[in-house]
Amino acid sequence: MGLRINDTVPNFTAQTDQGVISFHEWIGDSWAILFSHPKDFTPVCTTEFGAVARLADEWNKRNTKVIGISVDGIEDHKRWKRDIEKAGGATPYFPIIADDGLHVSKAFDMLPHEYYLPEHPTPADSETVRAVFIIAPDKKLKLSMTYPMTVGRNFSEVLRALDALQTSARAGVSMPADWTPGGDVIIPLALDDEAAKKKFGGFNAVLPYLRYTKLPD
Residue numbers of the site for ligand BEZ (CB under 6 A)? Answer: 38-39, 42-45, 149
Q: Is 182 left (phi over 0), alpha (psi -120 to 50) or beta?
A: left
Pairing of strands 64-70, 31-36: parallel
Of residues 79 and 140, the one with the C-beta less far from ligand BEZ: 79
Pick the catalytic residue: 3, 32, 34, 45?
Answer: 45
Under 8 Å CB-to-CB from 197, ≥6 apart: which residues?
203
**Residue 183 is a catalytic residue:** no
Pick from 3, 13, 8, 18: nearest CA to 137: 8
Quote the least distance from Cβ 166 to ligand BEZ, whole Å.
Answer: 29
Quote the least distance from Cβ 48 to ligand BEZ, whole Å.
Answer: 8
What residues pair up with 212 in beta bridges, in sequence order?
A: 186, 204
Quote the least distance from Cβ 45 to ligand BEZ, whole Å.
Answer: 4
The DSSP code for 89 is S
Of residues 85 and 184, the one with the C-beta less far from ligand BEZ: 85
Give CA 207 to chain center in angstroms: 33
Q: Which amino acid is at 198?
A: K
- Return d(Cα 70, Cα 111) in angstroms, integer: 10
Instruction: Kindly report the length of the chain.
Output: 217
Quote the least distance from Cβ 40 to ligand BEZ, whole Å.
Answer: 9
Of residues 19 and 43, the one with the C-beta less far from ligand BEZ: 43
Of residues 37 and 211, the one with the C-beta less far from ligand BEZ: 37
Render the burial of 92-106: b for 16+ CB within 10 Å, e for the rest.
bebbbbbbeeeebbe
Quote the least distance from Cβ 87 to ligand BEZ, whole Å.
Answer: 12
Of residues 38 and 50, the one with the C-beta less far from ligand BEZ: 38
Point out the residues that are catalytic. Answer: 45
